[in-house]
Structure 1
Amino acid sequence: MTAPPARLTQAQRSGRTRERLVAAAIDALYRYGYAAVSTTLVAELAGVSRGAMLHQFSTKAHLMAEVAETTHQRNIAAYRSTLSGNSLTAEERLLTILDVGWLRHGSPDGVAHDEIRSATRSDPELAERVMPVLLRHAEETQETFFRLMAAAGITDRPVSDALLTMAVAALRGLALEKALGQDEAQVEAAFQQLRRTLGADIRDRLARTEEPGVIYV
């Protein structure tokens, strides 16, 4: 005789409710944009009561901070999963990071994250709650990227930061163009041009080092 399934604890039920709300918020941000998203809409999409929503996230800004953290961690996991176990030259690594970044920026997670980031300009409450999270993410990303570049032979920190800033800004802008209905073939052509430009730049920089490195992850 099959034993009945164990009942979830209160903490487990609360955790699942929280996950449903974050998932619903990401879906809403992806489909409707930040301005159209409310805690009421998210609760409806998640299939939970308004009270349960407010118990988990007292304000929209509180919920958005959780979404920003969740999407960032998923991005990190995607990069690690793609790069893990591979031996890559510095150029191959940069282009792989670009490819993953392009996929992530166009995903519901990426769109949701960028919607939140853009909205901090006009929503002081959101900015107060979310900007510390986004700044921490940016610092972590810069440190990681610099370690990768330094291991390959590019040890100039300003150069590493500039490469990362250019790549992220370009990917974010191209993803926005795509979301706004720009011809997809043109957007994809622009991305391929970005790939070629950054690849050529990294090759040129590594040619100036004594031993362009291969990085093992």
Structure 2
Amino acid sequence: MASKTLPKDNTVKTAKPPRKTQAERSAATRKILLDAAIKCLFEHGYGTTTTILVAEMAGVSRGAMLHQFPSKADLMSFVVEAVFEDEVRQYGKLLKGIDDPRERLLAYPMAVWKLHSRPAGVAVMEIFQGSRSDHALARKLKQTQAKIDKFAVASLESEFPHGVSIPLLQLIVGVARGLAVSQLIAPTARSAKEPMELFQDLLRAGMEAHLLRADTKGKKK
């Protein structure tokens, strides 16, 4: 009796992906919690945002949350730092190719407004607003803000070698933040893009009339 030949197994065996390190798993969990915290802050505000709600939204256990962020202040401080790091990259993209100091300054309002209007930008504004009554968070943010300010000053010095008007920059950021907030509390209103474009036109007119400068070169003391 002839022996039967067994069919060949043509199944392709795929190699298992390498096991993630503890650091990689931790980073992945923090990213999930970051996204959930931003979503929660954007949709519900600082007062309603709790570590329990963020953990539920992220789909992680309470224990996993506490392992990464023992307190709400720790989580909120992390959100501010992470969003700032992303904003640095986004500013680079939005202002890419604009090397002239004057034109770069004129491009800032729209860039600031776009970033502050994002859920991440709104989340950070919610956090800073909440820190007014949260002393633990205020202490955490003081350290974070110091690092951000140091980086911002260094960046401005490299972008504007002759110096830049700090009050003018404060005005730009204030207008952009204000329009971002007004758009949030009045979502049925028209987009804030047109007011931002008008503000840019006013800045340009002020520079052309020599009432405003992109830098402080030659500024009278």
Q: How does 1:57-72 map to 2 (within 5 A)?
A: 57-72=69-84
Aligned length: 203
Map 1:12-91 onto structure 2 (within 5 A).
12-84=24-96, 86-91=97-102
User: Corresponding residue for 1:178?
Assistant: 183
Deviates more, 1:95-104 or 1:119-128: 95-104
Tell me how large the CA RMSD over aligned residues is.
2.3
Question: After the TM superposition, which of the residue ranges 186-195 and 162-171 deviates more from structure 2?
Answer: 186-195
Change (3 A) 1:165 1:61: same
Larger-gyration structure (1/2): 2
- Of residues 121, 142, 150 in structure 2, which corresponds to 1:131? 142
Aligned residue number for residue 4 of structure 2 = none
In the TM superposition, what is the alpha-carbon distance from 1:189 to its structure 2 partner? Answer: 3.4
C-alpha contact 1:57 1:63 (8 A) present in aligned 2: yes
Q: Distance in 2 between matches of 1:22 and 1:190?
A: 31
Quick check: 1:101 aligned with 2:106? no
1:128-152, Cα deviation, whole Å (9 max, x unpaired)? 11122123313422342243233xx
Q: Relative to total residues, which structure has the larger helix share, 1 or 2?
A: 1
CA distance in 2, matches of 1:143, 1:187: 30
Separation in 2, partners of 1:100, 1:54: 35
What's the offset of the Cα at 1:10? Answer: 1.9
Q: Which moved more, 1:178-187 or 1:107-116?
A: 178-187
Deviation at 1:198, TM superposition (A): 2.1
Give the conservation status (yes or no) of the 8 Å contact 2:105–2:214.
no
Q: Following TM superposition, by how much is the alpha carbon of 1:67 offset from its aligned partner in structure 2, in angstroms?
A: 0.1
Structure 1 stretches of 4+ moved >4 Å: 206-210
Tell me the TM-score normalised to structure 1 length: 0.84
Contact kept in structure 2, 1:90 and 1:202, CA below 8 Å: no
Counterpart AA for 2:88 = I
Contact 1:18–1:56 (Cα < 8 Å) also in 2: yes
* Identical-residue share of aligned pairs (%): 35
Report the AA paired with residue 30 of structure 2.
R
Which residue is 1:198 aligned to? 203
Q: TM-score, normalised by structure 2?
A: 0.83
Equivalent pair of 2:160/2:215 in contact (CA under 8 Å)? no
Residue 193 of structure 1 aligns with an amino acid whose one-letter code is: L
Pair 1:196–1:40, CA change in 2 (3 A): same
8 Å contact kept, 2:110–2:197: no
**Cα distance in structure 2, aligned partners of 1:199 and 1:76:** 25
